[in-house]
Amino acid sequence: MVGSFLTCHGITNHHQSMIHQAPAGARDLLPLEVVQKSWINDRLQEVFQRWGYKRIVTSTIEWVNTLMAGGAIQPSTVIQLQDIGEGTLGLRPELTASIARAAVNRLTTNTVQRLCYRANVFRNPPQGHHGRQLEFYQAGVELLFTDGVLADAETLLLLVDSLEYLGLESWQLLLGDAGLTRSLLQVFPDNLRPTILNCIANLDRVTLENLPLELELKNRALLVFDLRGNPLEVLEKVNQLDLDENGKKAVNHLQALIELVNYNSAKTLPITLDLSLIQTFDYYTGIVFEAVSFTENKASVLAQGGRYNQLLGIYHPQKQTYPGIGFSFNIEDLHSCLLNSPNLPKITPPSDWLVIPETISAVKQAFSYAQKLRNDSEKIVKVEINLEFRSPEEIKNYAKNEGILSLAWITEDGTVKISN
């Protein structure tokens, strides 16, 4: 029946061969990888809950206009599905936009909302990168309707607590401030400011050095470009510049934040203040940060986030805006960094029991006994039934190979013999 359906619909051998593999950029997760990534995710959700965050689940499919986050997300990164007359649908490339939409329209905005998530996200690869990964897994938090040093400190300390609970060792926190960096660029001519911002965001020193700027402004641009290192030393350099009111506020905010975060950490945190850490779009308005790991001479971004005090207004019916801050973990990168960790599970957990009907007429009693084992414990007991009539030796070898410790042999009259 299926064969005739495929033939009459003109599905060629070429297309039939495609059904044997996932599309380019998609991939399957086999049981061990699922167990390992679930372990990472479960630990993260545990930390989020300990800090009072509640899980939210938003739609995988959104209007493309929602996913654009007011122009912060490039349309080319969104995997678009179809135009249904009212607009075009797409798969979410990240969660913040969807959570912002849900929060301002469906949650109470006059109280702090602590939200967390674990979800898959989808992104078109850049042009010319066919076959690059399309689906990613993230876990993260959004702290909404609150602003200030305390909220920013909670977010950073939650990030640190999560990394430490996973047992990650060699990582550092890159901290910037989008508002402060923009404030430092106010002295430059309007027509050159976007180019300078672009050079700083993309660490393009060559283009920056060749811009048509007077010597004093060129030195200022290169100074901003190099503002990274020990937080106190960087802030000292910034304080020597001629700052506007917003710049002074941002510096005071960073000083208070770093002091509060360090005071509440068991050890001095590996924080690098990096004022080149900025996006070229106006998504972030305050602090921005990345947790970066260095293993085997390779840098991996484990998490990224920041403060976005204009974003929620995009989704409010009256365009009323509210403060927000959040971050997301990249589960794939965390998984890669933890592969050699003794904490990460190295095998899929075995079943606890193998129930074996000794004859065909003992099958009913075997199913009944297996169900009794599953139901008689408050914790999950994993019980398999032997579905093929094999020799006792073969059955014991199977149990040994699978790591099953307890065997229950069932006779026709329901007698149970247990062996280990």
The pLDDT value given to residue 23:
83
Q: Is the pLDDT of residue 268 over 70?
A: yes
Query: Do 333 and 357 share a domain, yes or no?
Result: no
- CATH number of the domain where residue 87 is located: 3.30.930.10
Distance CA 332, CA 303 (A): 11
Query: Do 57 and 189 share a domain, yes or no?
Result: yes
In a domain, 26, yes or no: no
Strand pairing category for 88-91 and 79-83? antiparallel
Choose the final residue of a domain: 314, 338, 362: 338
Domain that holds residue 384: 353-419
Query: Do 271 and 371 share a domain, yes or no?
Result: no
Query: How many folded domains does the chain comprise?
Result: 2
Q: E strand or H helix at 144, and its extent?
A: strand 135-144
Q: Is the pLDDT of residue 149 over 60?
A: yes
Beta strands in 267-323 (DSSP E): 271-274, 287-295, 298-307
pLDDT 10s digits, 82-115: 888 888 999 999 999 999 999 999 999 889 999 9
pLDDT 10s digits, 271-311: 999 998 987 666 899 999 999 998 777 889 999 999 999 99
Query: Do 303 and 391 share a domain, yes or no?
Result: no
In a domain, 8, yes or no: no
In a domain, 10, yes or no: no
> Residue 113's beta-bridge partner residues?
144
Torsions phi, psi of 204, nearest 5? Answer: -100, 85
Arithmetic mean of pLDDT, 193-219? 91
Query: Do 271 and 140 share a domain, yes or no?
Result: yes
Query: Do 203 and 284 share a domain, yes or no?
Result: yes
Among candidates 140, 81, 118, which has minimal Cα distance to 324? 140
Query: Do 295 and 361 share a domain, yes or no?
Result: no
Q: Which residues of 256-272 are buried (b: 16+ CB within 10 A; e: fewer)?
A: ebbebbeeeeeeebebb
Among the residue ranges 31-35, 51-55, 127-131, 386-390, the one predicted with the least confidence is 127-131
Are the beta carbons of 62 and 314 closer than 8 angstroms? no
In a domain, 6, yes or no: no
Among candidates 420, 405, 412, 400, which has minimal Cα distance to 357? 412
Choose the final residue of a domain: 290, 313, 338: 338
In a domain, 377, yes or no: yes
Choose the final residue of a domain: 311, 338, 365: 338
In a domain, 15, yes or no: no
Query: Do 373 and 257 share a domain, yes or no?
Result: no
Query: Do 212 and 334 share a domain, yes or no?
Result: yes
Three-state secondary-structure class, residue 273: strand
In a domain, 343, yes or no: no
Query: Do 383 and 276 share a domain, yes or no?
Result: no
Which amino acid belongs to residue 15?
Answer: H
